[in-house]
A and B are shown apart, each in its own frame.
Chain A
Amino acid sequence: MAKKLTVSASPHVRSKETTTGIMLDVIIALVPALIMCVVYFGLRALVLTAVCVASCVVFEYISRKVMKRNNTVGDLSAVVTGLILAFNLPATLPFWMAIIGSLIAIVVVKQMFGGIGQNFVNPAMTARIILMTSFPTAMAKWVVPFTDTWSADAVTSATPMATLAGVQGGNLTTVTSQLPSLTDMLIGKHGGSMGEVCSIALIIGGLYLIARKVISPIIPFTFIGTVAVFMLFAGKGHIDFVAYELLGGGLMLGAFFMATDYSTSPINKKGKIIFGIGCGLITSVIRIFGSLPEGVSFSIILMNILVPHIENMTTPKPFGAVKEKKAKGEAKA
């Protein structure tokens, strides 16, 4: 018998990639940074992360139920949001504040706009900014690594970013005593939010995602590259200053894990380059000229909002298409 010819509508080639698989890769990529933050900030960091993840999943489940939509808890995107949100918080943050953060990220930013793929800004990033504006003191309590994060009077310190904000023209000699060494910056022995301190773990995670083709390298590299070039000029050529700026703050976390969020970044290469450069420029401008020590979160949110316009600008021309001429009749009318 002859083989039957099956006629069906496109798509004909299906990828084995699933949302769950991608999210699982992101979780794997975040594990090294998670381990390092538990090493530095103790068990409380792990508990706080668990609270964030659990509350994100619960809020996702409840809001899908209430909105009578099919449940998307299984795709693990809420787990990723919870992890990234936790990485953006200081280790001493009260648990209920973290739960409010999850509520904002999942219910307000993600589900109210239609769930996964429909949010116009990064949920975790927005939650961090809202928490920062709402609870400025609790959200700026950066503890020194290896101290008791459970106690209310844990030793706090200025983050390297806050110290660097006072530096004029890249001359670090006046503040060297207040800054951790560059090696400490790389492995994360300095104050900061839980997940952002250990740059090397984040870079390893980011490279894993690039190797697995989960994220494209364009956004992280243009983002970090723009900051590097800007800082080279702002620091009048002091390489040390550039290194501190790159390793400090949330740059690595933001560039690899948050700016690359699928639903809030441009689709094609040209758009990605514009997006990365924009993020880098806004971050640098806030760090150098703004009153805030750190600008990664605001830069990503601002560029998220511009993504539809970037997409419009960079829509590729179909092969052989001619630029549409203005119809003559219209001009007369």
Chain B
Amino acid sequence: MAEKKKLGKELTKGIIVENPVLRLVLGTCPTLATTTSVESAIGMGLAASIVLICSNVVISALRKVIPDKVRIPAYIVIIASFVTIVQMVVKAFLPSLDEQLGVYLPLIVVNCIILGRAEAFANKNSVIASAVDGLGMGIGFTAALFLMGAVREIFGAGTFLGTGIPFLSENPMLIFILPPGGFFVYGILMAVVNRIAESKGKKRAELRGCEACPMAATCAINKKEVAES
């Protein structure tokens, strides 16, 4: 029973309280780049989620086999294989989505969320817990991208999933599609989510930069801190 409860928590924490994009501020680059439309935002979110779940499972299963010193290259190889698979599938069945996402699809390899979860969660926890963590984080990532994509597409292009909205489609506010608008929407959404999480009595998530960082164990700053403590 306790185990089940814990798994449920791993699943839900990724959606609001530890939302990778809006609370942990990971994966900012694909977030800003692919949310100019709802379609590409959902595409990006799902592709990254699939890679995240698969790589979490494999890394967790191999966590006792991979030598600590070469774990980052090993993780990258695992993640890259899954990204290649996803990329081939998207190219074969959804060529238009592939065109929209462009270089950001192969760039999932270096997405901080995936490497961050591998380092912070998958290499310490069981296979099932890692899969659930990946699923929760994936849902959180996709939801955040969908929200941002919706706001930016509705106001910036006057459409939603390609269908025009009266009035807005005649007077689109171009800035929402442009990078500065992306930053504005990102910042405001972050503030809203922080507010929601705080009103639930959850403290503002610490920017656990070092813990989530893939270089944490080898980083000079971290070593010094560990030595001091």
Contacts and interface: CB of A to CB of B under 8 A. Distances in A.
8 contacts: A100-B173, A108-B184, A133-B174, A133-B180, A134-B174, A134-B175, A134-B176, A135-B173
A186 to B, nearest CB: 35
B184 A133 contact: no
Contacts of A135: 171, 173-174
A136 interface: yes
A133 B171 CA distance: 13
B85 interface: no
Dominant SS at the A interface? helix
Nearest to A97: B171
A97 B175 CA distance: 13
A150 B113 CA distance: 53
Contact of A130 (B171, B172, B175): B175
A261 B209 CA distance: 37
6 smallest CB-CB distances across A and B, nearest first, come from: A134-B173, A134-B175, A133-B175, A134-B174, A130-B175, A133-B174
B178 interface: yes
Nearest to B173: A134
A178 B174 CA distance: 32
Contacts of A112: 191
B153 to A, nearest CB: 15
Contacts of A97: 171
A135 B176 CA distance: 11
Nearest to B167: A96
Nearest to B184: A108
Interface string B178-198: 101000100000010000000
The interface centre, meaning the residue of A97, A108, A133 with most chain B CB atoms within 10 A of its CB, is: A133
B207 to A, nearest CB: 20
Contacts of B180: 130, 133
Contacts of A136: 174
A135 B175 CA distance: 9
A231 B178 CA distance: 33
A135 B158 CA distance: 13
Interface in A173-197: none
Interface in A130-151: 130, 133-136
Interface in A112-161: 112, 130, 133-136
A135 B155 CA distance: 12
A150 B77 CA distance: 65
A133 B175 CA distance: 6
Contacts of A133: 174-175, 178, 180
A112 B174 CA distance: 22
Given A112-B191, A134-B176, A135-B171, 15 more contacts: A97-B171, A100-B173, A108-B184, A130-B175, A130-B180, A133-B174, A133-B175, A133-B178, A133-B180, A134-B173, A134-B174, A134-B175, A135-B173, A135-B174, A136-B174
Contacts of B191: 112
B6 to A, nearest CB: 38
Contacts of B172: 134
